[in-house]
Amino acid sequence: MLRLHPLTYLPDGEEVVVGRTDTDSYGVFPADGAALLRELESGRPVDEAEAWYEDRFGEPVDMAEFLDVLRDLDFIVAADAAVHAPPRWQRLGRALFSRPAWACYLALVAATVAVCVTDPRFVPVRGHVFFTHYLLVVELTLFVIQPALMMVHELFHLLAGRRLGLHATIRISRRLYFVGFETVLDGLVVVPRRRRYLPMLAGMLADGLLLCLLTVVAWLLTDPGGDPPLAARLCLAVAFTTIPRISWQFYFFLRTDVYHLIVTVLGCHDLHTTARQLVRNRLWTVLGRPEKLVDPAGWHPRDVAVARWYAPAYLLGYTVMIATMVLITVPVAWRFFSAATRTVLDAGTPPGRFWDAALLLALTLFQLGLAGFLALRDRLRKEAS
């Protein structure tokens, strides 16, 4: 008798997504293939399952090929199969999104609203970023704190996935010229659609809670009627930086949290890839290069239907971001970079200005180097695959 690992079945139109939540391995089966798989999982011997399929669907099945697919997906229990333990921090994930936790979150939001209404000085504004007159301190502080805040964002994604038993992981990724962290939640494909929304939006929830928490802490650190001390101003500065991160999620063409939400709500499979290939096919058609065209037979019908409006938005989004980089980001960065280089090379530069410029150069080169390294790594992986 064939032994199979515990499997999850998720009907999706005329197909069924079948997978293992303990390893994030999954495959898309036709309805009859999923029915055959259920028979094998129930303990029916292979030869009996083959006969059952032919009797039920009126045609034979290539059982050898079917079993090869199951082995490739690691659905079959091997003799030396390792036992996969439940994901770590699953209890923490359940506690973090329990009813008492949600009550605390609502209380925190209410407290933040009350603070901002009673004292408008604590309403997030751009001026809060400059919590000190020393720009070097501002630059260093935000550079050090931002990765930690981004990690909190991703940890909420991870724990929301671990709560469902998924082996989610966090990795460093690159979106166009942005470098950051990314949570891998591939196992969500075998989770019912209504249960996917929280893991997708958990990062934005974390950003919102950080904004509220830091605002309330800043208020608590300030004496009634007095000016906010340095610690309170630092909290307000960090709190404001969560707002651009939340707004960045709406750049859905970069496959952000909002993109995954849209794909899930609309029932798409790989909308981004379909839209990208659709745009490229139209470009190669205009240029008269038919050999470069991607066969549309591999596109899912739902992705094609949605890509009719998503593809123009995808193209416009990338165009705007690239234009912003060329016309604004690069010229401004070059101005700072060249000025900092001249300052460092000038023998008469005072020590304070020297270290300020040197630090700016170091941070700039580090970020450019990291983005270049990730771009090269992704290209090598793509070529290898």
- DSSP one-letter string for 92-142: HHHHHTSHHHHHHHHHHHHHHHHHHHH-GGGS--GGGG--SS-HHHHHHHH
Q: Identify the CA nearest to 136 among candidates 351, 369, 368, 366.
A: 351
Three-class SS state of 183: strand
Which residues, listed in sequence order, are joined to residue 9 by a DSSP beta bridge? 18
| Continuous H helices in 222-350 | 230-248, 257-266, 271-286, 301-324, 330-345
| DSSP 8-state secondary structure symbol assigned to residue 86 | P
Packing angle of the helix pair 31-41, 46-57 (nearest 10 deg): 150
Residue 284: alpha-carbon gap to chain centroid:
31
Q: What is the pLDDT of residue 329?
A: 62
Tens-digit pLDDT string for the chain (385 aa):
688 888 888 887 778 888 887 777 888 899 999 999 999 988 889 899 889 998 998 899 899 999 999 988 888 887 655 555 677 889 999 999 999 999 999 999 999 999 999 999 999 988 898 888 776 677 778 888 988 999 999 999 999 999 988 888 888 776 655 667 888 887 888 888 888 999 999 999 999 999 999 999 999 999 988 899 999 999 999 999 898 888 888 888 888 899 899 888 888 888 988 998 998 888 889 888 888 888 888 888 889 999 888 888 888 887 877 787 777 667 766 776 787 788 888 888 888 778 777 877 787 777 777 777 777 777 777 777 6
Q: Identify the CA nearest to 255 among candidates 314, 202, 323, 339.
A: 314
Between CA 281 and CA 315 the distance in angstroms is 13
Q: How many CB atoms lie within 10 A of CB 203?
A: 25
Residue 255's region, left for phi above 0, alpha for psi from -120 to 50, else beta, is left
Residues 6+ apart with CB under 8 A from 199: 157, 160, 161, 164, 166, 168, 185, 188
Q: Identify the CA nearest to 20 among candidates 199, 160, 184, 165.
A: 165
Q: Which two tokens stand for residue 252?
A: 């859905």
Q: What is the pLDDT of residue 385?
A: 64
Between CA 64 and CA 284 the distance in angstroms is 41
